Structure 1
C-alpha cells in the first residue's frame, strides 16, 4: 500500500533511462526496458523510482535539452510505454517521480524556433533571455557569464535577413537557451506541463537546476570561484543562481500539486550553500525535498560526517522538512571511486585516463559500501543511483571518441565530464552487453570488469554488494530508521557512532581496526574480525 507522506523517509532509486535497460537492441535504454526490470527494484527494497529525462529531445545533453515537455522521445518509446511503466510500478508499490527541466529548453523546441522567426521585439522573443551585445556593433556578449559546460554563456543569432542579431543566454550548452521566468507566459506553460503529467498519475517531479530560472535584473558581470563546482554552491550572491524569485515559482507549483489527490511531491536539485539557505527551498508551502549536496560532497571522515549530519538535521528540521541523503547521481563521480580520491575533483570535471590521480578500485568499493551503510541508517529520505547497489565504480578508461558529455567537447577534452558514471549497467554476466541490450550494443562502452559486478553474479551471494544493500534496506524499513532520531555515542577519533530506533550504528572511517561494540550484528558493510571493526567498515548492531 502507498502511504501518505511517503517522501519523508522514502528510499528513492534514480534510473538514468538510456543506461538502465535496452529492450530494442539499439544500444540505448528505454521505458519498456525499465518496465521489464522493475521487479528487481521492488526486490531491492526501494520505495520510489526517479526517472531522469525521457521527454522529446535532440539529445545534445542526454535529454536535458527538451523539445517537447509533454511527449516521450522515440528513443525511449511512447506515451503508452510510459503509462505501462507507471501502472507496473504502482502495482509493485513503487512511486514514480519524473525529471522536469524548467531553466531552459532545447533550441529545437517550437517555442525557441518561433522566437527566432518572429524577430526583434516580438512576444515570442520574450520567452527567452535575448539581449543586445556590448561593443560598438554589439559584437561582444552582454556580460562575462560562463557556461556550466565551459565557454561563454551567450550565443549571437543571425536574423532572417542575414544581419547580426542579439545574443541569447544559455547557462548550459548553446542548444539549451534559458527561458525568461519574468514572463507570465512561461509560468502558464509550465502549469500546463505539470498538470499533463499529474493527470497521467505521476507522483512528483525532480526539478532540474531548481536554484536557477531567475536571474538578477541587470545581468551584472560575475566571475565564479575557479575552484568551485560548476553548478554553484557558493555562499556568495550569484546573479544567476538562488535568486529570491525562484521561491514564488515553487509556491505556485505547490498549489498545483495540492489540487490533486494523493501525495505528489516536488524535489529540488539546488546546489546552494549553506544548508540553512538550501532549506528555504523546502519551507512548508514550497518544495517537499531538496538534494543534500553538502552531504554528498562531505569526505569520508568521522568528524566531517558528524558535522554535516547535525547541520542537515538542524537546517531541514527548522522548516519542518526531512533531511535527504545522497552519495551518487548522474552528475558526479560514483561514490566508490570519489571517496577513494582525496580530495576529489570539483563537481562536473570527472576523471579519465590522463587524470593525475586515479582511485584504487578495491579501496573505493570498501569505502563506498561503508558510506552507504552509514547513510541508510540516518533519519529522513535517501537516494540511490542505479548500479550503486552493484558496487559499480566510475568508468575511467572511456576512449575520447566515445565520450558524449558536452563538457568534454566544450573544454577541448580538458575536463572529462560525467560520462564515467553513465555507462550502461550490468544485469547478467554471460549475456550480450552484460544483459543491458539483447544485441550487445551499448551507447557508451562497458568495461570488461562489468561482468564481475553483474546482478546475477551477486544475487543470493552472501557478502556481495547487492545482498548488503538488500539487507540494509530491509532492516531500515523494518526498524523505520527513516522516521527515527539519532543519539550520538562516544567513539574513537576516526569512528562515528550513533543510535537510532534501537540499533547502534558504528562506522570506522580510518584505516586502523577498532574494538567492535557488544551486540548482535544485524548488517555489516564488510567482513568483521573477531571482536574487531576494520577500517572503512560500517556495522549495525542490535
Structure 2
C-alpha cells in the first residue's frame, strides 16, 4: 500500500547550487548508497533518517546535489533495484515522511536531490507480476523452444550470470536480464509508459530535482528477440550494441520523459533533470542519450574504465568532449560507483593515483559524480567472507561458474566510517550489514577532518576552488605540450598537469600552485611533478 505524507505540501525550492540556467552542466553530485551511508536506528542498515542527519557533512564537503539509490518497497533481491512499489518507502529505509523530510532538509541546505527510477524491470513481487493476466501483457513472456517448449526462447544471458529466462508453472518463459526476481517490463505496452510517467510525477510533486534512470539503455529489445550466437555476453556490454541493450527505440522513451520533465519544470519554476545510466559502445552512441530533446546527463563509463596512462586518458577525454559537444551537452565524469571497484584500488596505484585521478576529473569541463567514501580514500574491501556477501551476481555467477558480472560489488558497498577507533565507526548505534575492516580508524571522517594532508581535506579544497574559479566547470579546455606520460591542459585562468608515471618529472613552471594531490617542488622556473600526481596552477 502506498504510504501517505502527514504534510503533502511541496518542498521548498533550492536556493543554492545550480547557479543560473543549466545547473547540471557543471554540478558535482554525490552518490548516497542509502544502505551504507548512515544508520539511524541501529539495525546495521543505512536509512533515510541517517542520510538526512549527515546532509550538513555533504554541504560542508562542497557538493551541489545528492543522488539516492533506491529506497522503495522491495524484497531486496538486488539491493533495492527490484522494486515492488515505486511510491512507497521500504520500512528498511524509513517512511515516505522520512523521504519528504530529507528532501526539505537538503533544499534548506542548498542541495538538490536526485532519486533512482528503475524502468527496465520490477520485482517479481510487484502487483503486476503477481497477477498472471497482467504479467503476460506488461512483461516479456515468450513460449520456449524445443519439442515441448523446454528450452529458453533464445540464447540471451543474464548480466548476473546464467540464462536470462525462467520458465513458469504455465510452461512459458519470462525475461530477466538481471536476477530471476527482476522480470523485464514490456515497453511495447502503453500501460507501462503511463505508469512510469505517473511515478515520475509522484516524486516530482514530492520535490525531487531529477532522476537517475537505471539501465537507461535497456527498456527496448530488438524485434524478434534474436539470438546473439555466443556466450560471455556480460563482457560485451558497453563494447557493442546487443539485441537487449542500446537499441535505438529507447530514445523515444527518453524524449517523452524529457518533455515531461521540461513541462513540469516550467509549471513549477525549477529545472529538473534526467540522468542516463547507459552503457554504450562508443562516446558517439552515448551522446545520443543527451541530445537536446533527451536526457540531461549520461555517465561517462568509458572514462571510468580507462587505464592510468596519459595517452589513453587523453584519447578518452578528447573523444568524450567531441561527442557531447556535437549535441550541445556537457560531459558527465565519474570514477567510482556502487557497481565497480573503487578507483583507489582499480587504478592500481593506491591512494596517490586515486587522488590524482580525482583532481584530473574535477578539472575537466562538465559535471562530475562522486561516490560516497571516495572522499575518504576508501579502498575496495577485497577480503569479505563469502557468507557476508549479498551481491546476486556473486551467487549466480562466481559461485556457480556461470558467465556474468564478477559478483564482487559488495566490496565497494561496505558502510562508511564516520568516527571512532573500531567498527562500526559511527555508522550507527549497532553494527553494519557488511563487515568493516579493522584498520579503517585512520580513514574516518573525524580522523581526516582538519588534517591538511588528508584525502577528505583535498576533496573539500578542490570543490571549494571549483566553485570559486570561473574557469572550472563547464567550458573550454586546450591541451598544452608536455613530456611523455604527462598531461597538461589549460582552463581559463589555470593549468592542470597530471603525471601518470611512477617517477618524478620536471617541467617548465606552469604558474602558481593552487592545489596538488602530492607535494610539488618548485625550483625557479621549473616544477618537479611527483609520480602519480595532479596539480592545479593559477596563471593569473
Normalising by structure 1, we get a TM-score of: 0.91
Question: Which residue is 1:317 aligned to?
Answer: 325
Question: Is the Cα–Cα contact under 8 Å of residues 340 and 412 in structure 2 kept in the other structure?
Answer: yes
* Structure 1 residue corresponding to 2:535, chosen from 535, 539, 542: 539
**Paired residue for 1:65?**
82
Check 1:139–1:224 CA distance in 2 against 1; reply closer, same or farther (3 A cut). Answer: closer
Dislocated runs of 4+, deviation >4 Å:
228-231
Please state whether the residue corresponding to 1:149 is helix, strand or coil: coil
Matches within 5 A, 1:417-456: 417-430=408-421, 433-439=424-430, 441-456=431-446
Matches within 5 A, 1:124-135: 124-135=135-146
Q: CA deviation at 1:476?
A: 1.0
Q: In 2, distance between residues paired with 1:268 and 1:21?
A: 26
Aligned to 1:238: 242
Whole-Å Cα distance in 2 between the matches of residues 412 and 256 of structure 1? 41
Deviates more, 1:27-36 or 1:483-492: 483-492
Change in 2 beyond 3 A, CA 1:540/1:207: same
Which residue matches 2:125? Answer: 108
Distance 1:385 1:16, change over 3 A: same
Is residue 398–residue 407 contact of structure 2 (8 Å, CA) maintained in 1?
no
The reply to whether residue 496 of structure 1 matches residue 492 of structure 2 is no
SS at the partner of 2:473? helix
CA distances 1:129-168 after superposition (whole Å, capped 9, x unpaired) = 0100001111110011100000000000113xxxxx2000
On the 8 A contact 1:427/1:436 being kept in 2, the answer is yes
Deviation at 1:527, TM superposition (A): 2.2
Listed as ranges, the matches of 1:87-102 within 5 Å are 87-102=104-119
For the Cα contact (< 8 Å) 1:58–1:67, is it kept in 2?
Answer: yes
CA contact (8 A) 1:148 1:231 kept: no
1:528 paired to 2:517: no
Point out the more displaced range, 406-415 or 85-94: 406-415
Specify which of 455, 463, 467 is matched with residue 465 of structure 1: 455
Q: Secondary structure at the match of 1:27?
A: coil
Whether contact under 8 Å (2:157, 2:231) holds in the other structure is no
Q: Match of 1:360? A: none
Query: 5+ unaligned residues in a row in structure 1: which ranges?
Result: 160-164, 341-362
Q: Does residue 150 of the first structure (1) align with residue 153 of the second (2)?
A: no
CA distance in 2 between counterparts of 1:224 and 1:207 reads: 29
Name the counterpart of 1:410.
Answer: 396
CA distance in 2, matches of 1:48, 1:231: 32
Q: Distance in 1 between matches of 2:58 and 2:421?
A: 21
Aligned positions of 1:21-40 closer than 5 A: 21-40=38-57
CA distance, structure 2, for counterparts of residue 271 and residue 71 of structure 1:
28
8 Å CA contact retained: 2:158, 2:179: yes
Structure 2: distance between partners of 1:334 and 1:134: 42
CA contact under 8 A between 1:231 and 1:271: conserved in structure 2? no
Task: Kindly state the Cα deviation for residue 529 of structure 1 after the two structures are TM-superposed.
Answer: 3.6
* Residues 234 and 272, structure 1, Cα contact 8 Å, conserved in 2: yes
- Paired residue for 1:327, among 335, 340, 359? 335
Q: Determine helix, strand or coil for the equivalent of 1:222.
A: coil
C-alpha displacement of 1:172: 0.2
RMSD: 1.3
Tell me how many residue pairs correspond in the alignment.
506
Q: Measure the CA separation in 1 of the matches of 2:213 and 2:282.
A: 20
TM-score, normalised to structure 2, is 0.92
Q: CA deviation at 1:517?
A: 4.0
Any idea what the Cα deviations from partners look like across 1:450-506, whole Å, max 9, x if unmatched? 212101100110110000011111111111311231111100110000111211110
Deviations 1:284-339 (A, max 9, x none): 11100100011111111111111111111110011010011100000000001000
User: Which whole-Å CA distance do the structure 1 matches of 2:196 and 2:22 have between them?
Assistant: 25
Post-superposition CA distance 1:423-461 (Å, at most 9, x none): 00110033650111112x110100112212101100110
**How far is 1:250 from its partner?**
0.7
More moved, 123-132 vs 240-249:
123-132
- In structure 1, the residue matched to 2:218 is 212
Distance, in Å, in 1 between the alignment partners of 2:389 and 2:503 is 39
Aligned to 1:194: 200
Q: Distance in 1 between matches of 2:320 and 2:71?
A: 32
- Tell me how far apart the structure 2 counterparts of residues 529 and 504 of structure 1 sit (CA, whole Å): 16
Question: Is the partner of 2:30 in helix, strand or coil?
Answer: strand
Worse-superposed segment, 69-78 or 529-538? 529-538
Q: 2:382 aligns with which of 392, 396, 413?
A: 396
Q: Deviations 1:392-425 (Å, cap 9, x if unpaired)?
A: 0000010010011001101252544200000001
Q: Give, in whole Å, the separation in 2 of the partners of 1:245 and 1:516.
A: 50
Deviates more, 1:428-437 or 1:201-210: 428-437
Cα distance in 1 between the residues matched to 2:391 and 2:229: 24
Per-residue CA deviations over 1:9-50 (Å, capped at 9, x if unaligned) read 000000000000000000000000000000000000000000
